[in-house]
Every structure is written in structure tokens, then in C-alpha cells.
């Protein structure tokens, strides 16, 4: 898998990859709040590239109709590591078999900002755990 990630990185242009590094500094809350279509967020608990507490777990607070599917353990490249599981969940979502927020989601929705690893929480917000 490491070779696959390296290969994917080599496919991108140097300028685009450089500019992508600044995406971590942006707050996407206003953009994602505009989502008015069915939304499935699949996230792994052990994702160290995009930590779940500062990203995935905050989405249902911003988009109430979002479904958050949390995979215990797992890593950032779950679609590559376990494509059968991801595909099964995508099909269930497309077929309307996922109607509510997944059981794995904490009952408390947490703060209303979707931030990122380098900017974990806006001023005045509280942790989602």
C-alpha cells in the first residue's frame, strides 16, 4: 500500500500538491453546511492524517441529515485497505438502507465547526469527546 500512495503522489503536479498543504489551514464549516443532498461520511477512528475528532465527528453537527459511519481502528486509506467493506456501505447508503446517524456516533453532536488537524477547533468551541 505504501507504494500505491507513493504512486498516487507522483501523479500530481508539484504546484497543486504544494498548494494543497494550505488546505489544512482552512475552515470548511460554511461550505459543508450548504450540503442539501444525502451525505455519507466514512471515517476510521485511527486515521492519523485526518483525525476523526476534528473532522468526521463534527460533520453531523453541521449537516444534521449526514450519516457518519465510523470504522473501529482503520487508517486513512480505508477504501484501499478494505474496499469490500467501503463498497458495501456505499451501496447500502445509495440504496437508502442507512436512514439514521450510525450507532458509532456519540449521542452528543459536539461543536458546530468542521476543522482540521492543524487547526483543531475554532475559538470558543468544545471538544467533541
**pLDDT, tens digit, 9 for 90 and up, residues 13-70:** 888 888 887 877 888 899 999 999 999 999 999 998 888 998 999 999 999 999 999 9
Work out the average pLDDT over 107-126.
38
Residue 114 and residue 55 in contact, taking contact as beta carbons nearer than 8 Å: yes
Nearest partner of 128 among 113, 66, 69, judged by Cα: 113
Domains of the chain: 2-94 (3.40.50.1820)
Give the per-residue pLDDT at 99.
67
Longest CA span, the chain: 42
Amino acid at each position: 500500500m505504501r507504494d500505491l500512495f507513493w504512486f498516487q503522489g507522483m501523479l500530481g503536479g508539484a504546484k497543486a500538491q504544494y498548494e494543497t498543504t494550505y488546505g489544512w489551514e482552512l475552515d470548511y464549516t460554511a461550505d459543508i453546511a450548504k450540503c442539501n443532498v444525502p451525505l455519507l461520511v466514512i471515517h476510521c477512528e485511527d486515521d492519523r492524517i485526518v483525525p476523526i475528532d476534528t473532522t468526521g465527528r463534527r460533520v453531523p453537527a453541521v449537516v444534521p441529515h449526514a450519516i457518519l459511519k465510523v470504522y473501529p481502528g482503520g487508517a486513512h486509506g480505508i477504501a484501499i485497505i478494505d474496499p469490500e467493506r467501503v463498497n458495501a456501505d456505499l451501496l447500502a447508503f445509495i440504496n437508502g438502507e442507512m436512514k439514521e446517524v450510525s450507532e458509532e456516533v456519540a449521542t452528543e453532536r459536539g461543536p458546530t465547526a468542521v476543522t482540521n488537524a492543524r487547526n483543531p477547533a475554532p475559538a470558543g468551541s468544545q471538544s467533541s469527546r
